[in-house]
Amino acid sequence: MDRLINPNILVNLVSRRVRQLSTGGGGMSRPLIESEKPLGAADTALEEIIQEKIDFENVKEGEG
């Protein structure tokens, strides 16, 4: 995955992923990472980006 250079793209990616994580119901609403401690939706989204588990395209596709 290419590194995000534009901070606006990062903000949009995180906000879309937080929305997905907050909806519940399985699929893309489940975290794609494991953590030893509970993380909030924004922290989970950021960690998924850091670990290259998501990118703008698969978050966009996961929206209903």
* pLDDT bracket for residue 9 (50, 70, 90): confident
DSSP H helix total and E strand total for the chain: 3, 0
Least confident span in 3-7, 18-22, 59-63: 59-63
Q: How many CA atoms lie within 13 A of 37 on its CB side?
A: 4
Instruction: Kindly report whether the global pTM for this prediction surpasses the value 0.75.
Output: yes
